[in-house]
Structure 1
């Protein structure tokens, strides 16, 4: 049973852990209590979503030594079937002192004071638990390691790329289903059902964000989830959903029209399409993310719609658990990150005209390869699709 459903080799996981250790040492940090489920999977191979209600952690030192996974006893078999880590321990919820157990394991590994890295921005570390853990770790100082632990995930290995390409095939099944099912008279919920059913039938794992789908007067809602609204002839309908393979997400983003739309809808869509194309053109190894977003905004500003572009242009994607699928890469003004070969990211040109009850979003999931920018899945830079 041990490792029967492991997604990667032990060697790949150990290499990732060594990278994390190097980063910790560079920051003068001696120990790590990693609680974000993305990190538990990426470094420890442990596949489980239950951090939302049952604290779990991968605990290790910056020096050599075996890591420890600590989790709720209910989930022992999940670690056995997916993780390479040999030292797996458990606690009983509602009975055991969980912060004390976490701190005790860290002390076994040499913690006496100094700094302890924890992803304090993760939803897996709720405020009350974080306070209790801080007390249990005293006099050690907790240092936020959300970005430190997440940055190594930005450059994908060949094995990771294989999962992302498989995830893209699942998302493609969903996009194909959307094209077949979108028509006047269908409800948004029924349309979402066709998409989700197609992805599951194709083999997709569960996704970390609900299917986003909004049409007609709801299309200005960028993160709108489907309602029982009936789609009408001429409605613009935008979609955002992900196929998932071994927790690696590939997101399809597309706007389509259910019959011939209004002239204004076509105009707004075309501006969004030009924005997406301009942003993609600015992406290359060494490009600054601020310059990329600025390039994507040039067509929007030229059309007098600068105030309607309210989303970041892009973000990194890969391993994910609910409630998000974003990685630390931010393709946006306000960030100073540099693009590198091996990065995988979502791009979206989004325009929101609330007063006109009109919005579009166009893009998809892309990889920066040695040959340039490759779209893995999505609508991409295409003329408005009318079905």
Structure 2
């Protein structure tokens, strides 16, 4: 293994990750993997780049003791050498070289002409067209979805990863401070977003995987709204959701703020959202089932007849991310039976939307689960409504 100039983690940490990835292959009875998701390639191979969104890249290794092979576009070779520990790097020229043929060649070199291959079917880095051409080029192989297999490797964070997430959280808190300092009636949503983003970037934040989400007043029922030229008005509720980022590790900040004096209906909705958030937080502990946590968060809403307004999952895992998403495979939601473990990091939030009333609230933050409870890394958390 080589140590690249811009490598973020130690060789020993990467050895451990690679060994766990190979063990996961064996446990799933897979002969090899074609790892395509940038967050997984970075986690296992150390290769840090966003370009998998438009140029196919693969980290290939088998369940045996072979060294991994990294396939990427030739123009990105210098980027790979900055960060990856992988020594065997193969390149192709976009539009003139056949990527499936190169994948086939590498697998043959590793002694495979048939078998079961794991690949992340649910990754945006595997376009449908590429999947079809791979299937055609590799007729002797069966393909299995390895999205959860590899994504689950990243759920419990190491000490070094937690350091990255705490740094990301500091960037996010700088953004929240800028939001509260800047927010006032008369400015536009875009102006507010610019202050948030500029403050984080000046502090040293890496770029984020999802655009800043920000909505005010009659737009507040849009839980994932992008900021618009709309002017913020007296009495508006304004909610923001964005991430600070350190070496691709994300910590998401969420908060709803009031401008002046919001309506009683708006403040009442916020208070119910706060009760929901507190109930979910109280249920979040080591050994808790994720579905039970969401059920706890819904109890205060049922009492107020507002369960229908909770359209989002209560939480989701967070860590390494590239555009266009920052969610990990952990879902804190009904329909899942996973049990929480120490070292997991996740967003927990109350998100209530009343589209017919043009009113919405989003409140919460990013949390690290420890043996003795939750540590909030970013966000406003379970506090009373702040009016500016």
* TM-score (normalised: structure 1): 0.99
In 2, Cα distance between the equivalents of 1:2 and 1:334?
42
Asked whether the equivalents of residues 2 and 80 of structure 1 are also in contact (C-alpha less than 8 Å), the reply is no
Aligned to 2:297: 296
Residue in 2 that maps onto 1:326: 327
Render the CA deviation track for 1:275-324: whole Å, top value 9, x for unaligned.
00000100111111000000000001111111111100000000000000
Contact 1:182 1:191 in 2 (8 A): yes
The aligned residue for residue 110 of structure 1 is: 111
Deviation at 1:112, TM superposition (A): 2.1
The residue that corresponds to 1:100 in the other structure is 101
- In structure 1, what is the Cα distance between the partners aligned to 2:75 and 2:256? 43
Deviation of the 1:2 alpha carbon: 6.3
Residue 165 of structure 1 is matched in structure 2 by 166
Structure 1 residue 342: Cα displacement:
0.5
Query: Is the 8 Å Cα contact of residues 213 and 240 (structure 1) preserved in structure 2?
Result: yes
Q: Which residue of 1 aligns with 2:346?
A: 345
Q: 1:219·1:359 contact (CA, 8 Å) conserved in 2?
A: yes
Q: Distance in 1 between matches of 2:56 and 2:373?
A: 41
Partner of 1:179: 180
> Take 1:203 and 1:123, find their aligned partners in 2: how far apart are those partners?
28
Following TM superposition, by how much is the alpha carbon of 1:135 offset from its aligned partner in structure 2, in angstroms?
1.3
Task: Name the residue aligned to 1:4.
Answer: 5
Match of 1:49 in 2: 50
TM-score normalized with structure 2 length: 0.99
* In 1: Cα distance, 2:75 partner to 2:113 partner: 31
Q: CA shift at 1:138, angstroms?
A: 1.5
Matched, 1:243 2:244: yes
Q: Does 1:336 align with 2:349?
A: no
Structure 2: how far apart are the matches of 1:132 and 1:113?
A: 16
Aligned partners of 2:3 and 2:374: how far apart in 1? 39
Pairing of 1:338-377 with structure 2 (within 5 A): 338-377=339-378
Residue 265 of structure 1: aligned partner: 266
TM superposition shift of 1:204: 0.3
CA contact (8 A) 1:289 1:338 kept: yes
Do the aligned residues in 1 keep the contact of 2:184 with 2:259 (CA within 8 Å)? Answer: yes
- Verify: 1:124 aligned to 2:125, yes or no: yes
Deviations 1:209-264 (A, max 9, x none): 00000000000000001000000001000000000001000000100011111111
Is residue 80 from structure 1 mapped to residue 81 from structure 2 by the alignment?
Answer: yes
Q: What per-residue deviation string (whole Å, max 9, x for no partner) do you get for residues 70-103 of structure 1?
A: 1000100000001111111110001001111112
Gaps spanning 5+ residues in structure 1: where? none
| Contact residue 221 and residue 358 of structure 2 kept, 8 A | yes
Per-residue Cα deviation, 1:354-387 (whole angstroms, up to 9, x for no partner): 1110000000100101221111110100000101
Cα pair 2:3 2:11 within 8 Å, conserved: no
Q: Does the 8 A contact of 1:2 with 1:81 survive in 2?
A: no
Residues 1:152 and 2:177 aligned together: no
Q: Which moved more, 1:111-120 or 1:327-336?
A: 111-120
Q: Deviations over 1:89-120 (max 9, x none)?
A: 11000100111111211221121211001111
CA distance in 1, matches of 2:328, 2:212: 19
What's the secondary structure of 2:322's corresponding residue?
A: coil
- Equivalent pairs, count: 387
> How far, CA to CA, are the matches of 2:160 and 2:38 in structure 1?
20
1:134 aligned partner? 135
CA RMSD of aligned residues (A): 0.9
Contact 1:221 1:359 (8 Å CA) reproduced: yes
Query: Secondary structure in 2 aligned to 1:320?
Result: strand
- Report the equivalent of 1:254: 255
